[in-house]
Structures are given as C-alpha cells and as structure tokens.
Structure 1
Amino acid sequence: MKFSCEKALLQAAISTTSRAVSPKSSIPALEGILLEADQNLKLTGYNLETGIRTSVPADIESGGSLVLSARLFGEIVRKLPDDLVIFSATNYMVNIKCGMSEFNILGTDPEEFPELPTVEYQNSLTIQQNKLKSMISQTIFAVSDNESRPIHTGALFEVNAGGLTMVAVDGFRLALRREAVLGKEGSESFSFVVPGAALSEVEKICGPVEEPAAVTQGAKHVMFKVGSTILVSRRLEGEFLAYRQAIPRNNSIHVTADTRSLLASIDRVSLMINEKLKSPLHCIFDDNVLKIRTKTAIGDAADQCPIEGTGNGLEIGFNNRYLMDALKAAPADRVRLELTTSVSPCVILPAEGDENFLYMVLPVRLKAGE
C-alpha cells in the first residue's frame, strides 16, 4: 500500500472520521481509523453506533488497507509540515514521510475492523446542506439526555408534501423547525428518529453552502451523504411524543418582542443564577412591557423589555437557560410569544412570515417571595 496526499486534505479527513472513533473499546480496531486505498483513499471511523466514511483525493501507487490508531495517526499528521505526505505500508509496518519528517508506526489487521452496516433503502430526501445544518443546530439543544426514554435522545425527522419537519423534546421544552426539501423518494410521508450524537456530527460535516445533502432511511439505520462523506447511524425505535397534540395553539395572550432585546434582558437578570444558586425568572407580562426579575442568595436583579401587546399582568416563572436556548436558536429578528396561564407552556414563533420554527418552554412554579 503506497500513496501520497496533501497534508491539509489528509488532516481534514482524519479529523472528520475521528469523531466516530471509540476512545476506548474492547475491540482495539475500533480505536483506529480504517484506511483503504483503491480508486481513491477512503478513511472510516466506527464506534458500533455511528460510522463516518470520507474519501480524499490521493495519488495511489499501490492499493491495500489497514487500521491505524486514530489518536496517534491524527497527531502525527497534524504536526507534519504543510507539504505532500508520502505514506507506504509493508505488511503492518507504516512509513510516513513529509518534508524532513519521517515516522514508522505499526498498523493492525483491517479484518478486525467491523463493516459499516448496510442501509436497506426505504425512503430518501435531499436538502440543502446549509438548511440541514441550521435545522439541526436550532433543535438539537432540546434533545433529551435522559436514557429512561431512549426515543427522545434523538430528533424526529418527519417528511411529507410540505417538506421536512425536525422535532426535539426533553420533557421541559420542545423545538421544531420546518424547511422545504429539494426532493424526496419513497412513501408519500415517512418519519424516523436519529440519535442526537449522530446529528451533532452531521451538523459538523454539513457546510454553510447550498450544495445538496442526501438522507436515506433504511430498515434499522439512516445514512447522511454530504459531499464525499457518508455518516451511518442506527435509528432509534419507539413511540415519539405526539407533538402536535402537546403544543397549545388556542392561546389567549399574544405579544411580540425583538429577539435580541429579550435575550439581552434575560441574560442580564441571569447573572444572579448559577449552578449552585438556581432561581426561576419571574416574568410579568404587562401593557407593552415585560418585567423580569430574579432573586438568589447573592442578590437580586430586575430588567424590563419592551413588547408589543398586553399580557394582562400575567405572572409566570421560567428556567432562564431553557428560555435563552430557544431565543438563541430562533432564526428571526422578532418573535411572537403565546401564553394563556401561569401553568401552561409558552410558545415562541416567528412574529411574521411562515411558521418555519416553533419553540415551547414549560413554566416553573413560582414560590412566595420569588
């Protein structure tokens, strides 16, 4: 096996595939990257949950395959000078040359590296990379980390004639994003749940470009193809929350606010709150003004944010982080807040235009003196 490759391209490929490598595994090969030289150079990382394979242009003199320690190989390439990397392997002894630098390291048998699962095709969709990237980043914060409900440790992908809807929920809040797709094949409408850990990697692989990304739903797995990189993940099985019934839409109070101003007000008041000193935001929705205050052992803070509309003096408590996460993710300059009572959820929507996002945050009960 012998090839040469630009250092920057090789380093980027190692960085991408390393994210699916097990840091520690009972199968030593899973702590490595599988290199395969054929028509081009392919690198694969796989932790039995998520697999990432990417191909990189290289000048291949002789083909072959072997497994190298992801950590060591990654560190060597990262510290090489910016030049052409010449890689050669005889049996499992690997020689890496670049500029004046040279390394000899030992690889392992590629037969020990488990194959990536095959995705038995059921349905597929294509969507712009930048749209998929923003949809993930604007919902993933609401993916649950509670393993007692494994289905909610992923995000729901729902595809129909209206496009793609992505939903994440963790029991305290809900995040929803909608976008049009470039195309879909298979059933009229279909849905599947992708683990949050896999989505986090897809977000990193997608670029801020309008090039298409393909998503294929298989019987037990889902595959994302972005440029020359594919990511394969198992699907989560189970009954996802019936989110449409969970979102109240006949709310009696509607107010609109500037997203940044509201976020800044909450951020200032949140200076009194930390991991040890937790306290809800005490919000009063009045005529054209939202009053926010909080109180902990280190002091108290109050702020006001101008809003349009009246909340009829509604007093309601929120977890500051949950409200801030939703406002940070909201892709709109102005948002509409819908509320009804102090114990019903707050729904956050775009103030105008299509409802391409929706966030729901459950309130916190206020105790006397808060």
Structure 2
Amino acid sequence: MKFTCEKAVLNEAISICIHAVATKSTIAVLEGLLITAEDELTLCGYNFKTGIKKTFPAEISEKGSIVLNAKIFSDIVRKLPDDIVEIVCDDHYMTTIRCGLSEFNLIGASPAEFPELPNVEKSQGIKLSCKLLRSMIDHTVFAVSDNENKPIHTGSLFEITGNQLTVVSVDGYRLAMSQEEVENGKTENLSFVVPGETLKEISRIIPDSEDKAVHIYPEKKHALFEVEDTLVTTRLLEGEFLNYRNAIPNDCTTKLEINVKSIIDCVERVSLIISERLKNPIRCCFEGNSLKISCVTSLGRAYDECTIENCPEKIEIGFNNRYLLDALRACPEEKVVLELKSSLSPCVIRPVEGTKFLYMVLPVRLKADA
C-alpha cells in the first residue's frame, strides 16, 4: 500500500474516526484505525458499539490496507509539518510515514483481524438537514440517563410517524423532547433508541449547515447515519422505553408566559452558593407578578426575584438547579409557556405556539423550615 495526501485532510479524518476507537481493549486491533486504500482512502474506527468510517480523496499508488494504533498514528500526524504526507506499507505491515524531513516507522496489524462493521440496508430511512438533526440532538441529549441499571434510558428515543421525527430523552428526573418535519423515504412508522454517547459524537461530526443533509437508516439492531462521505453505524439499545406521552401532565392549572433569559439569570445567581458537595434545591415561589427564588446551603443564603406574568395562585416548588437550568438553556425561543399545578407536580415548558419542543422537570420536596 502506498498513498499521499494533504496533512490537514488526513488529520481531520483521524480526528473524526478516532472517537469510535476502543481506548482499552483485550482485542488490540480495536485500539487501531483501519486504513484502506482503494479508489479513495478510507479510515475506520470501531469498538463493537459504534463504528465511524470516513472516505476522502488521495493519490493512491498501490492499493492495500493496514491497521495502525490510533493514538500513536494520531499524535504523529498532528505533529507533522503542514505538507504532503506519504504513507507506505510493506507485506509485513511495516509502515513508513514521511512528511517534509520527518519520517516514522510503525509496525501495523493485519486488516483481516479488524472486525467488519454491521451491514445496514438503506431500504428505508429519513432525510433532514445536518443543522436540524444537530439541533434536535443538542436540545435533548442532556437529559439522557447515565444510570446503567436502566440501559434503555442511556439513549434517546427516535420516533418516526409519517413525516414527523420526535426525539425524546429521559433520566427519571426530567424529560426533553424535540419534534420536527423531515423527508420520509417511504419509511413505516417506527421507533428506535440510539445511545447517548453515539448522538454526542454525531452532533460533533456533522456540520452545522442547512445545505448538507443527513440520512438515517434504522434496522432492528443497528442504525446508520450517513453525512456525505462519513458513515456512523451504531448499535441500538433494546428494552421498553418510557411511555413519555403518559408521563407528561395535561392538567396543569397554571400557565405562565415567561422570558427565558430573565429566569436563567435569576437561577444562575442563586446557584452560586450551590456546589457538587452542597446540592441543596432552589425554592421557587410563584406569587402575583413575582417569581422569588432562594436557596440555603451551609455556605449561607441566596435570594433573587424577577417579574413574571401574573400567577393567579401562589405555588411554591423546589427544583434541582442544574436540571431546571439545562431545560431553560435548551429552549430555542426567547419566550416559552411554563405550566405548573402544585408543589409536587412536574413543571412543563412548552413553546408559545406549536409543539416543536417540550421539557419536563420533576420537583424536589422542600423542607418546611428552609
């Protein structure tokens, strides 16, 4: 195998694929990147859960393939001068990397030892802009659970109904939902759960562009995300996802239109005396035209308030400050509707118009003397 390509192009491909490489594995080849030189150059990382494959042009003199340790290969290419990189591999997997006056010799592994990525059929799928998918992921992935005792909730539910895609994340304390119109290529109504870690990588990889499209092809056990010359294959999570429709209350008696930024600023100020060690809840008192927010920890007491739409009845409710802030920061609009019922009922955040997003945060029981 022998090829040359620009250092910047190679470095970008490595930085994308390396996130699917196993950091520590009993199978050494999984700690490597599979490099394949055919008509184009392809890099591939795979850890049995997620596979990322990137194809890009290169001057290929001799076809072939090799597996190189991902970390060492990445470190070398990143430090090379900005010039043309030449990589040559012999029949014994000895690989020479040259760029400018720099030269490295690495022992690679046989590509036959590298596991094949699952083959996902492209018979049915949906299409949406990269910017839209990235937005949907970023507005929901924060609510994915990190509790491995309930593995199904460590991912986000993708629900396809006609031309509508709904993405939902839950962790037992909060719920985040995003809903958008997409192009449906004759795909039946279905649902599947994508691991949160995979979605974070997809959000990082795909460009924030309206002009570029991403195709999603789900199957029973795997799904394929395709963006131009980048393919992300992921194992889907199995189990019964929360019936989120039943979890969202529809009997909230108090509905207030609020300014998102003013509430965020208020909560952030009160949160200054809260830390990882001092996780006391914040106390929110909705009364008349005021939202009074306070918190007491061993460091002291914080209090702030802001003006809101008139609240017909007094409601005092406690929240985990981070969960409330995450939901408010994810809101893509300046003004939203805050729905409340009582101190023990969830808080629901909806758009002023439409159903493009929804956030629900469960309350924290407050001490009477706090």
Determine the structure 2 residue equivalent to 1:357: 357
Q: Deviations over 1:118-139 (max 9, x none)?
A: 1245631111100000110110
Q: Deviations over 1:165-223 (max 9, x none)?
A: 00000000000001111333321x11111111111111111111011100001121011
Q: Which amino acid aligns with 1:63?
A: K
Q: Which amino acid aligns with 1:306?
A: T
| SS class of match (1:152) | helix
Q: Which amino acid aligns with 1:354?
A: G
Is 1:345 the counterpart of 2:316? The answer is no
Give the deviation of 1:161 after TM superposition: 2.4
Determine the structure 1 residue equivalent to 2:326: 325
Distance 2:64 2:192 in 1: 37
Distance 1:13 1:97 in 2: 18
| Contact 1:289–1:304 (8 Å) recurs in 2 | yes
Distance 1:289 1:178 in 2: 32
Is 1:46 the counterpart of 2:53? The answer is no
Distance 1:79 1:262 in 2: 46
Distance 1:309 1:337 in 2: 12
Determine the structure 1 residue equivalent to 2:13: 13
Determine the structure 2 residue equivalent to 1:116: 117
| SS class of match (1:307) | strand
Distance 1:303 1:176 in 2: 29
Determine the structure 1 residue equivalent to 2:305: 304
Q: Which amino acid aligns with 2:75?
A: E
Q: Which amino acid aligns with 1:333?
A: E
Distance 2:123 2:314 in 1: 52
Give the deviation of 1:353 after TM superposition: 2.7
Determine the structure 2 residue equivalent to 1:185: 186
Give the deviation of 1:49 after TM superposition: 0.6
Distance 2:295 2:185 in 1: 48
| SS class of match (2:71) | helix
List runs of 5+ in structure 1 lacking aligned partners.
Answer: none
| Contact 1:128–1:182 (8 Å) recurs in 2 | no
Distance 2:45 2:64 in 1: 17
Determine the structure 2 residue equivalent to 1:55: 55
Distance 2:214 2:2 in 1: 32
| Contact 2:270–2:295 (8 Å) recurs in 1 | yes
Q: 1:274-313 counterparts in 2 under 5 A?
A: 274-310=275-311, 312-313=313-314
Give the deviation of 1:162 after TM superposition: 4.6
Determine the structure 1 residue equivalent to 2:225: 224
Q: Which amino acid aligns with 2:84?
A: L
Determine the structure 2 residue equivalent to 1:88: 88
Distance 1:311 1:343 in 2: 18
Q: Which amino acid aligns with 1:314?
A: I
| SS class of match (1:269) | helix
Q: Deviations over 1:258-309 (max 9, x none)?
A: 1111101000000111111111110000112110000001010001121113
| Contact 1:122–1:217 (8 Å) recurs in 2 | no
Distance 1:225 1:120 in 2: 12
What is the aligned-residue RMSD (CA, Å)?
A: 1.1
Q: Which amino acid aligns with 1:183?
A: N
| Contact 1:285–1:311 (8 Å) recurs in 2 | no
Determine the structure 1 residue equivalent to 2:203: 203
Q: Which amino acid aligns with 1:45?
A: G
Determine the structure 2 residue equivalent to 1:250: 251
Distance 2:275 2:281 in 1: 11
Give the deviation of 1:238 after TM superposition: 1.1
Q: Deviations over 1:55-111 (max 9, x none)?
A: 111111110001000000000000001111111111211111111211111111111
How many matched pairs? 368
| SS class of match (2:117) | coil
Distance 2:224 2:214 in 1: 10
Determine the structure 2 residue equivalent to 1:107: 108
Q: Which amino acid aligns with 2:150?
A: R
Determine the structure 2 residue equivalent to 1:259: 260
Distance 1:295 1:229 in 2: 50
Q: Which amino acid aligns with 2:169?
A: A
| Contact 2:162–2:184 (8 Å) recurs in 1 | no
Distance 1:218 1:41 in 2: 27
Distance 1:358 1:173 in 2: 11
Q: Which amino acid aligns with 1:17?
A: C
Q: Which amino acid aligns with 1:272?
A: I
Q: Which amino acid aligns with 2:39?
A: Q
Is 1:152 the counterpart of 2:150? The answer is no
Distance 1:246 1:311 in 2: 25
List runs of 5+ in structure 2 lacking aligned partners.
Answer: none
Report % sequence identity.
Answer: 50
Change (3 A) 1:110 1:365: same
Determine the structure 2 residue equivalent to 1:70: 70
Distance 2:283 2:163 in 1: 38
Determine the structure 1 residue equivalent to 2:194: 194
